[in-house]
Structure 1
Amino acid sequence: MPSLVNNSILMDPLMYSLLLHKLVLVQVLVGVFLYVNCLIIFTFLKKEMFREDTRYILFAQTLFVDSAFLVICDLLLIFKHYQYRMHIIPCILICTAAALFTDCTPLTLVAMCLERYVAICMPLRHADISTKRTRFLGIIIIWGISSISPLFTFLAYLSVVPPSTLFSYDYCTMEVMYKEEWQAQTRFIILLILFIFMIFIVVFTYIKIMIAARAASSSKNKSTNKSRRTVMLHAFQLFLCIMPFICTYIEMAFWNNDFMVFINVKYSFFIIFYIVPRCLSPLIYGMRDEKFFLVLRHYAVWGFDNYLQTLLINYKKNIT
C-alpha cells in the first residue's frame, strides 16, 4: 500500500494541514476509546464475580485485544503519516501481532455467542459447561485458531525474502509481509473459511435463541430477548471486523483518482471499520449489562456516587 503522505503532499501546506487535522481526529477517537476500555478492564479486575463469569472473561479478552490492535494500527498510521521508515524485523513482528489480534476479535465474539446460547438454551447445564477448565481450553482454542493465518504469513515471508532484506528499512504496513501474490491469496482463503465458519455459528446460535424466546415464559422472556439482541449486535460487530479485508480492494479503485479523495476514503474506512467495531463491545456489555454498569459507574466517578448517596440519606434524615 502506498504511503499516506507522499512528497507532493508534503510540499502543499493546505493538503498537509488537512491530513494533520484528520490524524488529530483519529488520535482523539483512539484516546477516548482506550480510556473507556481501560476503565472497563479496571472494573472487571476489581470484582471477583466478573473474573469468574465466562461471558465477562471473554468480554475482557475482547477489550484487551481490541485495545492492543488499535494501538498498533494507530502507531502504524502515525509512522505512515510522517513517512517513518522502520527496521524490517520489528516491522514484521508488529504486523504479525496486528494480524493475530485482527483474527482473535471475531473468534472471541463467536465464543461469546456460544456462551449466550448455552446460558439460554441449556440453563441447567450452563454451570457444568462453563467451568475454569472449559474457559481455559476455549481461550487456548481461540488464540490457536487466530494464530494460524499470521503464523503462516510470517513463515511464508521468511521463506521468500533474502536474508539481507531483514536488515533493511521500509514503510511499515501489512503489505510488507506479502512479497508474492500467493501469500495474500492463501491468507484470504484462510480468512474466508474462518468467516463462513463463524457466520454459521452466529446464525445457529441466533436461531436457537429465537426458538427459546418463543417457548420461554414471561419471566424468562426478557432475559432471552436481551441475549438475542446481544447475538445480533455481535453479528454486526463480526461484519464490521471482516470489512477491512474487503476495504483494501475498494481503496485500490480510488488510488488512481484524486489523491485527497483516496485519503478521505482511507481515513473513513479506518474510523468506520477499525475504531467503531471496537467501540461496540463496551456498549454491548459495559453499558447494556445492568450489573456491570452499576460497578462501572461507581469507578467512573471515582466512588463519588456512594458519597452523594450518603449525603442524600443524611439530608432526608435531618428533614424528618
Structure 2
Amino acid sequence: MAANNSSVYEISDKVILVQLLVLIFLFINLLLIVTFFSKAYFYTTMRYILFVVTLLSDSLILIMSDILLILNYFRFTMQIGLCVMVYIFLVLYTFVTPVTLTAMTLERYVAICMPLRHGELCTTHSTLHCVLIIHGLSSVPVTVILSMFFASAPHSLYAQYRICSMDLFVPLRWQDHFKLVVYQCYFLVMSVTIIFSYTEIMKVAKAASGENKKSTKKGLLTVLLHGFQLLLCFIQLWCPFIETALLLIDFKLFDYVRYFNYIMFYLAPKCLSPLIYGLRDEKFFLALKHSAFFGLYYVKMTNVSFLCREAELSL
C-alpha cells in the first residue's frame, strides 16, 4: 500500500509541475500578444500578424491540452461527440503553428530575394487571405483522420462516455500508419520550403554588401530559427508513435518518456521559441520592454507624484 501511495504522490507532483509551467508559459505568451496589440505597426505588418497567429495557436493548445490532462488524471469521462470537437481543435492548431512558420519563412524569402515586390505581395489584405489558407491547409489532416474514424465507428459510439484520448480516433493499426504518412508528407513539404528559402537567401547574402549583407544575414538566422521550431513540431508529432512502441516494452519507461516528451517537446516550444523570435526583433523587443516594465514605471511615477504633492503641502 505504501508503494502505491508514494506513486500517487509522485504523479501528483508531476501534474502540479505541469500546471506551474503552463501558467508561466501562458503569461509569457499573453505578454507577447499584448505587445503585438500595443502598436498599430505590428498589426499592419505581415510577419507580425503571422507571429501572433502562432502565439494564439500555441496558447490555445496549451489551455486545451492542459484541461484534457487534468480530466484524464482524475479519470473524468466525456461524451465521444464532445471529444471529437476537442480533437478537431487540438489537431487543427497543432498544424497551424508549423504551417504559419513556413509562411513566415516565405515572407522573409520575398523580403530579401524579391524586395521590390514585397510591399505588393505582403499587404494586410493578402495576410488575412494567407491566414485563411493556413487554417484551410491545417484542417486537411484532421479531416482525413476523422473521415476514417466516422467510416469505421458505429453511430452508437458517439453517445457513449469515455476518457477523452487522442488514440480513440485511430483504433486500427492501418489508420495509425496512414496518419503517420499524412504527417510526414506535411513536414516534408514544409522542410523543403524552408531549405529552398534558406538556399536562395544564402545566394543573396553572398552577393550583398554593407547594410544589405547585415539584413540578409539576419534573414538567414530567422529562417534557421523557423527550421528549428519546425523540427520541434516534427518531434512532437512523432512522440505518440515512439511512446506506443515503448508501451509494448516497459510501462514505467513509457510513463517517464511520455512525461519528458510532454515537457520538452510540447510545453516548452510553445513559449520559448516565440519568445526567442520576439527578442530577436528590435522593434518588437523595444515594445516588449515597454509592456513588461510599464507597470513598474507607472508605480514609480505615481510614487514620485505623491512625494512631490507631499512636499508642496509641507511648504
What is the one-letter code of the residue matched to 1:227? Answer: G
Residues 59 and 281 of structure 1 are in contact (CA less than 8 Å); yes or no, is this contact kept in structure 2? no
Offset, 1:256: 4.3
Match of 1:136 in 2: 128
TM-score, structure 1 normalization: 0.88
Aligned-partner Cα distance in 1 for 2:3–2:152: 37
TM-score, structure 2 normalization: 0.90
Match of 2:5 in 1: 13
RMSD: 2.2
Match of 1:217 in 2: 209
What is the one-letter code of the residue matched to 1:125? Answer: R
CA displacement, residues 5-55 of structure 1 (integer Å, 9 cap, x when unaligned): xxx9x9811111111111111111111111111111111112110000000
- Answering whether residue 107 of structure 2 is matched by residue 98 of structure 1, we say no
Residues 45 and 124 of structure 2 are in contact (CA less than 8 Å); yes or no, is this contact kept in structure 1? no
Q: Secondary structure at the match of 2:171?
A: coil
Aligned-partner Cα distance in 2 for 1:292–1:82: 41
- Matched-pair identity in %: 40
Aligned-partner Cα distance in 2 for 1:11–1:169: 31
CA displacement, residues 227-266 of structure 1 (integer Å, 9 cap, x when unaligned): 1111111111111101123222221333245543322111
Residues 148 and 175 of structure 2 are in contact (CA less than 8 Å); yes or no, is this contact kept in structure 1? yes
Match of 1:28 in 2: 20
Offset, 1:303: 4.8
> 2:219 aligned to 227, 252, 259, which one?
227
- Answering whether residue 195 of structure 2 is matched by residue 203 of structure 1, we say yes
Offset, 1:138: 1.3
* Higher mean C-alpha deviation, range 98-107 or range 207-216: 207-216
Give ranges in structure 1 of 5+ residues lacking alignment: 1-7, 312-320
Moved segments of 4+, more than 3 Å? 256-260, 303-311
> 1:260 aligned to 247, 252, 275, which one?
252
What is the one-letter code of the residue matched to 2:99? Answer: L
Aligned-partner Cα distance in 1 for 2:277–2:53: 13
What is the one-letter code of the residue matched to 1:173? Answer: S
Match of 2:80 in 1: 88
Aligned-partner Cα distance in 2 for 1:87–1:307: 49
- Answering whether residue 151 of structure 2 is matched by residue 159 of structure 1, we say yes
CA displacement, residues 185-205 of structure 1 (integer Å, 9 cap, x when unaligned): 332222221111101100001
- Answering whether residue 86 of structure 2 is matched by residue 75 of structure 1, we say no
Q: Secondary structure at the match of 2:162?
A: strand
Aligned-partner Cα distance in 1 for 2:172–2:4: 35
Aligned length: 303
Offset, 1:306: 7.8
Match of 1:240 in 2: 232
Aligned-partner Cα distance in 2 for 1:175–1:154: 12
Give ranges in structure 2 of 5+ residues lacking alignment: 305-315
Aligned-partner Cα distance in 1 for 2:300–2:41: 25
Residues 63 and 281 of structure 1 are in contact (CA less than 8 Å); yes or no, is this contact kept in structure 2? no
